[in-house]
Amino acid sequence: ERKKSRRYENAKKAMAFDEHDKVLFPRTDLKQFPRYQQAVRTVAKLKKHIAERRRDNLHKLTTRLVKDYDTIAVENLSVKNMMKNHHLSASIANASWGTLISQLKYKCAWYGKRLIIIDPKNTSRICHECKQKNHEFDSLSQSEWLAAREWDCPNCHAHLDRDVNAAKNILAKGLETLA
């Protein structure tokens, strides 16, 4: 009697059915499914491949910059604060700005080149031609200011692209520190 009962219980477990025709020991944890495990391995492999590609491209870019230029000037961007913007955080993370700066630092030291880190304050608001700050943007909110891609200098009437103007101002500030 006891033997049959034990066999019955074992058979029931082997069939994995309970009284409600549900799995007796449900595999609720996805980690138990082989296809899920295979998909996890595939995703991990692809992520590793993308990360290796990004790292390789950054190394090639920084090596080329350091070999081609004696002095490199970059903005000291607060990546940590920029990552708080959930609209831009994925793009900023993909760009790997922090890694780019750290690679530039050690490669400039390695090759004997100069890396100048510039304070980003007002680099896009100061006209690179007349060196005057555009005070029209002081009253704008940050989102309104970021939406203004181009502007005209009220002093010299030059038409400026915000990013190109900032790059020229960063270069000028970098060259000022050399003098």
Render pLDDT for 105-150 as a digit per residue (tens, 0 to 9): 999 999 999 999 988 887 877 887 888 787 777 777 777 767 778 8
Residues facing 71 on adjacent strands? 114
Phi, psi of 3 (to 5 degrees): -65, -45
From CA 67, how far away is CA 56, in angstroms rounded? 16
Q: Which two tokens stand for residue 134?
A: 């555009």
pLDDT, residue 103, reads 94
Structural domain harbouring 178? 121-179
Residue 44 counted as domain residue: no
141 in a structural domain: yes
- How far is residue 97 CA from its own chain's centroid? 6
Residue 134 falls inside a structural domain: yes
* 177 contact partners, CB below 8 Å, separation of at least 6: 116
Per-residue model confidence (pLDDT) at position 17: 46
| Angle between helix 34-68 and 97-111 (nearest 10) | 40
Dist. CA 74–CA 116, nearest whole Å: 6
Specify the pairing of strand 114-118 against strand 71-75: parallel
User: Is there a domain that residue 136 lies in?
Assistant: yes
pLDDT of residue 19: 46
Q: Does residue 17 belong to any structural domain of this protein?
A: no
101 lies in some domain: no
Entry field: residues in the chain: 179
Q: How far apart are CA 33 and CA 74, in angstroms?
A: 49
The answer to whether residue 131 sits within a structural domain is yes
What are the φ and ψ backbone dihedral angles of 23, each rounded to 5 degrees? -65, 130
What pLDDT shows up at residue 114?
93
Based on the structure, what is the number of domains in the chain? 1
Asked if 160 contacts 123 with a C-beta cutoff of 8 angstroms, the reply is: no
Residues of the chain with pLDDT under 70: 1-33, 145
